[in-house]
Amino acid sequence: MRDLVLFILISVSVASCQKNVVTGRSQLLLVDEVELQKLSLQQYHDFLSKNKIVGPGFSTDQARVERVGKRLAHAIGVYYTNQGKPEVVKDFHWEFNLVENKEANAWCMPGGKVVVYTGLLPIASNDDALAVVMGHEIAHALADHGNERMSQAMLQQLGGEALSVALINKPGLTRDLFLQAYGVGSTLGGTLPFSRKQELEADRYGLIMAALAGYDPSEAVVFWQAMAKHAEGRSSPEWLSTHPSDEKRIEQVRIYVVEAKKYYNPKNQ
Ligand SMILES: [Zn+2]
């Protein structure tokens, strides 16, 4: 079985290695983007139908999530268009939701469907902190980390089957893999951890995106320290689940803050 997986890996890697426009890193992406978008939309609507959404107009928290999300989306669109890379956000039709859930979690599915859980807001208590964490989740999506994780999981568990075929043969498992790959699975009993490399990329580019939108990236250090404290003794959300040392990560975040400050213009807010 391992030989077979290795063979498939080598065969597909020739055809499916792509350089991500945001990070410049080559990735093995086996899952067809159109199929992934389709599954993503289904799972997104399914999630919203099963969870309590905080509706617009009734909550200052919901207004905060929408305000910060829209500013991030606008700044990202302007930046990559000016860079001559409009394809980065071509398939993104942004939506920002707040759902009632005690867990300190958030995620962004392909196509820019963002969900923040109410349990995150006491930790991300100001807009700069909220922009740091939403920027982090959006960066995971723009860097195609979900597809990368989904590809690895499908290769290991389904022998590299196409997504459309896997959905017919093993629909439940395939949907679970998707939810886990996008960090939605933490409420369903486990996530596939993002790799350390993916987390650092999300930290780095998420901070640049927050800064572009006029949010102070310096807030990241305070925010991640608060998250680390919050996560002690709890089952961790995706962004803390893979880190051997929170302190090491925060040291790295300090370096990224210096870089992100070059993009920071408070007037953009
Ligand atoms: Zn993360």
d(CA 206, CA 54): 25
Per-residue pLDDT tens digits of the chain, which is 269 residues long: 556 655 555 555 555 788 999 999 999 888 888 899 999 999 999 999 999 999 888 899 999 999 999 999 999 999 999 999 999 999 999 999 999 999 888 999 999 999 999 999 999 999 999 999 999 999 999 999 989 988 888 888 888 788 888 889 998 888 888 888 887 865 444 456 677 888 899 999 999 999 999 999 999 999 988 888 887 766 555 555 444 467 788 899 999 999 999 999 887 66
Q: Which residues contact 87 (CB under 8 A, 6 or more apart)?
A: 21
Phi and psi at residue 116, to the nearest 5°: -115, 135
pLDDT for res 97: 97
CA of residue 169 to ligand 1 center, whole Å: 30
pLDDT for res 187: 42
CA of residue 7 to ligand 1 center, whole Å: 30
pLDDT for res 192: 61
Per the structure, the complete domain to which residue 197 belongs is given by 2-268
Domain count, the chain: 1
pLDDT for res 263: 96
CA of residue 49 to ligand 1 center, whole Å: 25
CA of residue 116 to ligand 1 center, whole Å: 13
Number of Cβ within 10 Å of residue 175's Cβ equals 16
List the one residue out of 251, 254, 242, 126 whose CA is nearest residue 194: 242
Residue 137 bears catalytic tag: yes
pLDDT for res 242: 47
Catalytic-labelled residue, pool 35, 100, 137, 259? 137
CA of residue 182 to ligand 1 center, whole Å: 10
Q: Which amino acid makes up residue 171? A: P
